[in-house]
Structure 1
Amino acid sequence: MKQLVLALAVSLATAAPALADLVPLSALSRYLNDMDTAQGSFTQINADGSISTGTIYMHRPGRVRFEYPGDDLLVIAGGQQVAIFDGRSNTRPETYPLSETPLNLILARNVDLARSGMVIGHRYDGTATRVLAQDPDRPEIGTIELVFTGDPVELRQWVITDNGGGETTVVLGGLTEGGRLSARLFNITQEIQSRER
């Protein structure tokens, strides 16, 4: 019996720091909702194992821009659409509704991670809080796992898993929040027009 109590005490002692470092969903929602603009570098690990780097510009709600200079690619979310531009092609961009991508969960006007059915995983991995989320109305579009450091809370990376099981990881190099970003960065129509000139 004494050994059982000792084992229980040890397990509680080792579990306590992890629980203390787990950032609550309410705090994570507040952090995302308070984020207006942000920019920084990123590294992307693609589903095929290849690695891309670039710059991200975010203007919540609903807008983000990923520039991949090494791959001559550009991804813009704006006007409820996502457009993928391939600089090596003369064709028009591929477009998708933003609502049909997991990225919509962090670009929403009001992020509420406590919404029923949205979060399907919430844990502390020893260094960061990880939140696995899905659109409860469209679980078939895939999931997004958000990784946050605490004190202060900061979004460090996300992993998008599509409905085929392919994973794309974006590791942020440190976001600079605040500041003015031109609306042109997120204007898909203007980007198309500038490329057609």
Structure 2
Amino acid sequence: MKRILAPVALSLATALVAVPAGYALAQQAAPSDLNQVNAYIRAVTTLTADFSQTDRNGQVLTGKLTLKQPGKIRFQYEKGVPLLIVGDGKALTLIDYEVRQVQRWPIGNSPLAALIDPTKDLSKFGTVVPTGDPTVLSVQAKDPKRPEFGTITMIFKRKPASPAGLELYGWVALDAQNNRTAVRLSNQQYGVPVADSAFRWTDPRPRGRPNG
């Protein structure tokens, strides 16, 4: 297994937790659009989807995303990739089973929290970005005072049959070094049964034990 996979997965984790809430907006947001995104987040109890992650070099990893409100998310990579990313509502954890390493980041003040915490108000830390396509809604999160946190842009498609008329299509993250990571979702399914055990993981470090 080429160790390039771990940095690629790390870029996904960084994309998820890079930008804290509470920053100043770069432009006036559209309240109706942000309210619709808030309504979507509050309407989604569970979500499963396939994801495709592409880094700046064009390397692609695929896998399965599982979300359960409030606060739980899992990125299960394709077969043969010994990596796992799990969010338990408090921290986002990257587990590398090949080298037996675990890395954790707080997620309470990140854009990811906006997606997995129905109590968050996106209007306080989101900016609507014009797309030129009335069927696409794009929301950007960034802190101009802390460029090291980079930028993340969440992309929604307007879809009447989906919760609140929106469907999460994916997101694009750009870090301070201009490393771009894009995540695209497909085969979204809402309201499917998801057990809490889906968000547990086994610690690969010595004397490891199940976590979650």
TM-score range, shorter chain: 0.7 to 0.9
Kindly indicate whether residue 91 of structure 2 is the aligned counterpart of residue 81 of structure 1: yes
> Which residue in the other structure is 2:129 paired with?
122
Q: 1:10-159 residue pairs with structure 2 within 5 A?
A: 24-69=33-78, 70-91=80-101, 93-99=102-108, 101-115=110-124, 118-126=125-133, 127-134=135-142, 141-152=149-160, 153-159=166-172
Change (3 A) 1:129 1:107: same
SS at match of 1:99: coil
Deviations 1:97-132 (A, max 9, x none): 1136432232223232222xx123432332512111
Percent identity, aligned pairs only, is: 28
AA partner of residue 98 (structure 1): I
Structure (1/2) with the larger helix percentage = 1
Deviations 1:124-152 (A, max 9, x none): 33251211124799775333211111132
TM-score by length of 1: 0.74
Change (3 A) 1:139 1:73: same
Task: Note if contact 2:41-2:115 (Cα within 8 Å) is conserved in structure 1.
Answer: yes
Counterpart-to-counterpart distance in 1, 2:114 and 2:159: 23
TM-score by length of 2: 0.69
What CA RMSD, in Å, does the superposition of the two structures yield over aligned residues?
Answer: 2.7
Change (3 A) 1:147 1:73: same
Uncovered stretches (5+) of structure 2, i.e. residues with no partner: 1-31, 161-165
Kindly indicate whether residue 180 of structure 2 is the aligned counterpart of residue 167 of structure 1: yes
Change (3 A) 1:39 1:142: same
> Which residue in the other structure is 2:25 paired with?
none
Task: Note if contact 2:142-2:151 (Cα within 8 Å) is conserved in structure 1.
Answer: yes
State the aligned residue count: 170
Answer with 1 or 2: which has the greater Rg: 1
Cα deviation, residue 79, structure 1:
4.2
Change (3 A) 1:176 1:155: same
